[in-house]
Chain A
Amino acid sequence: MGALGHLASGPGFWPTASMTEFSAHHLVDLFRLFALRLAEARIDLGALDGAIGDADHGNSMAEGFAAVVRATLAAPQDLPGPLMAVAARSFLSAVGATTGPLYASALQAGSRRLGERASFGPEDVAALVGAFADGIAHRGNARPGDKTMMDVWFPAARAVAEAARSGASPLEQLRQAERAAAEGREATRAMIAAVGRAARLGPRSLGHVDPGAASAAILISALREWLEAQVGDPPMGRIG
């Protein structure tokens, strides 16, 4: 609470365009970071899920992105956009469940964002948050407050959009997204699950962080971490 005072980095401070360009190879590297961070959180996510679901969320996410790394490494594909479509298909095949179609749809939307271009820039990395959110919303039917991953993806996407409008750098946009994601994740504690498996628990889902919201926040943090490592932006005015 009360962290708003730290958000003072004004518009125009960060360069809005960057010379840095990323290739398909970089995309695989990003997926590798997703897989790594999810693997680290496997047990914690499983414990969150165990409280209100079947405890498999940590494994699904970690295995899913591990499969994405394997598939994108093996794919004879030099264009980042089409490579992201390969990621979508491999995630779906590896995971199934609800998470599979939702993140497959997210990655498909990411693929459309990258299009057929030979490379992508830092602004595309930040824009992936909004693309993923749109993709998930397209396939799922959760609304804000339903205690799902959307309670992280929606506010994070809005944070990116707002930061972009005020002229923040892509990295700063992702920092704002990361902060919004962490808040969204915590806010799911006070929510009663309305869709998905936990919905059958009714009020018993109160007090628990939604595992899908938690893994969404991990992915958003990983996006920020990856871009920070790439553009080497000093963590000035870094949020929390």
Chain B
Amino acid sequence: MPLRPGNRAAEGGDDLIPLRFGDDPLLWASWLYYEEGMTQGDIAEQMGVSRPSVNAYLADARARGIVSIEIAPDRFRSLSIAKALRDHFNLQDCLVIPTEGGERSLIARLGDAGARVLSRFMRSGDTLAVTWGRTVLSIADQIQPPILQDVRVVQATGGTTAKIPWTPEACASRLAKALNARAIPISAPAIVSSPEVRALLMQEAVLSEQLGMLAEADRIVMGISSLRPESTIHSSGFLEGGMQHAHYQDAVGSIVGRFISARGEPVIGPMHDRTIGLDLDQLRRVPQRIAVAGGMDKVAAILAALRGGYVNVLVTDIATGRGILTAEGYRDTPRRPPSEPDRPPRARTHVKKLINAPQDAVDETLKGALLAHEHLIAPVAGSSRVVRALDAPRQGKVAIVVGGGAGHEPAFWGYVGPGLADAAVVGNIFASPPPDPIIAATRAVNGQAGVIYIYGNFSGDVMNFDMAAEVMAAEGVEVRSVITTDDIASSPRETRSARRGVAGNIFTFKIAGAAAARMMSLDACEALARHANARTYTMGLALEPGSLPETRQPSFDLGPEDMEIGVGVHGEPGVERRGLASADACADLLLERILEEMHAAEGDEVALLINSLGSIPTMEMYIVLRRVRQRLKARGLRVHSSLVGPYYTSLDMAGLSLSVLHLDKELKELLEVPCRSAALTIG
């Protein structure tokens, strides 16, 4: 392509394309246009070509991918979700704002967005109905309307308790003021004491005049309330306990003070005839119905309102919008068709397993374990899922009984032996054992000094171990339960008691077993087990899901370049999905989350466990351990001991977990007490 030298070449008056553009006029033109911000005319002059040529260069540069124009991903998602919501629910319009952003709360930002939408639609002469709530008040506080005349703002319902700042009166009067409009109140409570009172009030001329104006509304702006226990509707005084009534059990949301089911149908209960304000049929007749609502707890309520056709303009946020669509079965589509060629159909549909009949897998595993470790463990007559220590029961010693679902081998039988647990009970794969074998185990190892159950925090395990404990208590055996909660990924710090118990169990077993072996009292053993659990932190990640013997299917889908962070030990998905990273980056990720919670001081000592979730190469565990040790050293923490291997697996999940036990003098001493078992021998 011939290029005439320009008059004002960019680099030192040189006649040619500056070197760094490698003789590529497209790149040069693009650079000048997009990076230097020059006009096409100036570029033409500089390059010594015509303006149409510059235009053609720029078009060509985009066509060849030299320049790619990107819409910020967040904005793009907003648009695609808004469009999908509009199409799916046949809305007039929809605005979706980012879920996160800046310092303002979601309600403040939704209020801002709602205010902008409302000012765009409002016209002189309009009658605007308005409901109540925090979001609606936020709209009223932020609206900057165009200059309008003869606007009326009408309360959509009667009044509520004055204990909240976002009452119907406040919302309507503040919005009226901002719009320079006339405020029309509804001069009655939203909920009156009886249908008779309502009937009487409705005969009042003032009220019927106000309700008449409400019926003339051209548009309405409203919030949508969830009825979940965490919803503020319960504290707003609007419901006055009436919601507890059985009639409202079908309700998933509230709109204009009325209740709707998941399908969007009215839920008519005893409050219906005591409510003064717009009803749902009247609402549907309002030409424009703007709902402003967001938050994951509101997904079901907003969805119900959309299904019922009570909304035709929606303002929400990305996460909520996606939640609504997901609940409707919509999936995010990739922005462009994937560039990779079609892969051949998967040759295999089943994961290979070395088993006999799937339903025999657990029993056959236990039989094998009992034979392999016959010098340590023995069966308990009449119960195929119980394993006891050969030396149990020991009179006067607190007995430790551990257990949970199968599929975690060598847990739990691998931790039965001197200095560790006295018995282990397993259920079906990933399912808690029922009470009967737990009871059998307890009877088999009870040394008349009390029994401690130690198991991970899963609702099934809690139910079944509790049922067993009740039976044992009735037999006069004192049973304490220590429920482990080491998995920091599974719930925030504030709700530690909701966390799962995973591989860090091993440390709690060890400490409790050592305390019992030292013939400490039931109280002391229990306190130490709790202490160990409180100072144990685990975080796991998976590269591939595991598969159950019965289904032989991966238990969840994981993309070819993805890893799952915060996986549990039952093949359930984790808390977050990310692109696969290097071993060191993963080690950092796990350790940093743990250190953030652990509050260790320089010089503190820890014990480590790098645990295989079933099928990660041993090499990779040591690579991760190396990095964890480097980081701990840099942090000034000492490592007392490192366990590396399959200690608490999740069938064949490919992944690992890192557990850290934050030692103190007492825990360190107990950690060093000798123990002997199939999976853990110390001293």
Contact = CB atoms under 8 A, between A and B. Distances in A.
Interface of A: 1, 4, 43, 46-47, 50-56, 59-60, 63, 92-102, 139, 143-145, 154-155, 158, 183, 186-187, 189-192, 194-204, 206-207
B329 A183 contact: no
A94 B436 CA distance: 10
A191 B572 contact: no
A201 B575 contact: yes
Interface string B450-465: 0000000011100110
Contact of B460 (A96, A200, A207): A96
Contacts of B427: 96-97
A206 B573 CA distance: 13
Contacts of B428: 56, 59-60, 63, 95-97
Given A60-B431, A97-B427, A189-B329, A195 B250 contact: no
A145 B252 contact: yes
Contact of A96 (B326, B433, B490, B500): B433
Contacts of A189: 327-329
Given A144-B249, A197-B570, A190 B299 contact: yes
* Most A CB within 10 A of own CB, among B227, B265, B428, B556: B428
Interface in B391-446: 405, 427-436
B575 A200 contact: yes
A139 B463 contact: yes
B168 interface: no
B555 interface: yes
B572 A200 contact: yes
B430 A51 contact: no
A199 B497 CA distance: 13
Given A1-B263, A59-B550, A190-B262, A158 B249 contact: yes
A97 B432 contact: yes
Interface of B: 227-229, 246, 249-250, 252, 262-265, 296-297, 299-300, 303-304, 307, 319, 323-324, 326-329, 359, 405, 427-436, 458-460, 463-464, 467, 490-491, 498, 500, 548, 550-551, 553-556, 568, 570-573, 575
Contacts of A4: 265
Contacts of B303: 190
B463 A56 contact: no
A2 B89 CA distance: 16
B572 A197 contact: yes
B464 A56 contact: no
A203 B459 contact: no
Given A1-B307, A98-B459, A204-B573, 6 more contacts: A56-B429, A100-B460, A187-B252, A190-B262, A190-B324, A203-B296
B460 A99 contact: yes
Contacts of B548: 46, 54-56, 59
A200 B246 CA distance: 29
Contacts of A206: 296, 299, 323, 326-327
From DSSP, what is the main secondary structure of chain A's interface residues? helix
Residue of A1, A96, A204, A206 with most partner-chain B CB within 10 A: A96
Contacts, number: 163
Given A187-B262, A196-B459, A46 B551 contact: yes
Nearest to A204: B573
A201 B575 CA distance: 6
B327, B329, B554 interface centre (most CB from chain A within 10 Å): B327
A195 B495 CA distance: 13
Contacts of A47: 553
Contacts of B328: 189, 207
B487 to A, nearest CB: 9
A155 B250 contact: yes
A29 to B, nearest CB: 24
A7 B519 CA distance: 69
A94 B432 CA distance: 11
A206 B319 CA distance: 11
18 contacts: A4-B265, A50-B555, A51-B556, A51-B573, A63-B428, A96-B405, A96-B432, A97-B405, A97-B427, A100-B463, A100-B464, A155-B249, A186-B262, A189-B329, A192-B296, A192-B297, A198-B572, A206-B327
Contacts of B573: 51-52, 201, 204
A200 B491 contact: yes
Contacts of A204: 573, 575
Contact of A52 (B229, B405, B572): B572
Contact of A203 (B263, B319, B551): B319
A199 B247 CA distance: 27
A67 B219 CA distance: 60
B551 A43 contact: yes
Q: Which of A43, A52, A95, A195 has the most CB of B within 10 A?
A: A95
